[in-house]
Amino acid sequence: MNDPKEIEYSFKLFIDSLEFFEEETNIKENKLSFFFLETNFHNGLFEMTGFPFLISFSESFDDLSMWRFYGKNGDGVSIGIDREYLIEFSKGKESQNTNLIKCIYNEKELLNELKIFWHKNYSSFKTNKKSLEMDDFSLIFLIQKIAFIAKQNSYLPEKEWRLCKSEVNKKNMNFTFKNNVFLPYIKLEFDREAVKEIVLGPCLNNELTKKSMDIFLENNNFNNLKNNIIKSKISYRQI
């Protein structure tokens, strides 16, 4: 992720919420927070149900900061994917362990969600020096959820949604080399109908690009998009 401290941030929220709850309810002995801080046990829980993968989307389809950071500084395109399609895709039989979720940038909102969880579930966890007894998998799912949705407020303009999947089968992984890192990825196949529009970046030669795009879409059986190619409304040039 472009925020290298993203998982660290979500784990900090997890511990902070736990300490707030223990202080608020006057718990003084056998604190869960001590166990997690000493063992870093919560880090291991994150991948307990599989290896996490995600693809990011944004509500900001024509935003200058997004063009500059992710749209080749205005020379790229923005591809509009139908949100309802993604919701149904995540529920499909072939999409196990897959969820479409909206990122939360408000720390108070995240802490409040965690606080509700501790009120309901704190007493169900038992610990010794090295292990944690759990009645169910709710804690695992909570840590994964917070890790996926928690983002620092400075990233708020991205208005990000994520399609997240926990992959248990290593044979489904492919690999690529990007930014001096060897990385795994998995393939997801969407129907053509999922693509609803294409927004041309503000620095493109829009007339020539649109003509070429029309031919490209026709050659690749995206005829439904020929009337849904939109020019960016942003006035911007590269200097």
Range scoring the smallest mean pLDDT among 27-36, 163-172, 182-191: 27-36
> How far is Cα 2 from Cα 56, in angstroms, rounded to an integer?
11
Residue 129 confidence (pLDDT) above 80: no
**77-81, strands of its sheet edge to edge:** 77-81, 195-200, 229-231
Q: How many CA atoms lie within 13 A of 206 on its CB side?
A: 14
Q: Which residue has the higher pLDDT, 149 or 131?
A: 149
List CB contacts of 234: < 8 A, sequence separation 6 or more.
62, 63, 64, 67, 202
Which residue, among 48, 29, 51, 53, has the nearest Cα to 138 in the 3D structure? 48
Can you give the length of the chain in residues?
Answer: 239
Tokens of 195: 């693509």
Is this structure's pTM higher than 0.85?
A: yes
Q: What pLDDT is recorded for position 186?
A: 95
Which residue, among 30, 1, 22, has the nearest Cα to 150 in the 3D structure? 1
Which residue, among 203, 200, 194, has the nearest Cα to 235 in the 3D structure? 203
Residue 159 confidence (pLDDT) above 90: yes
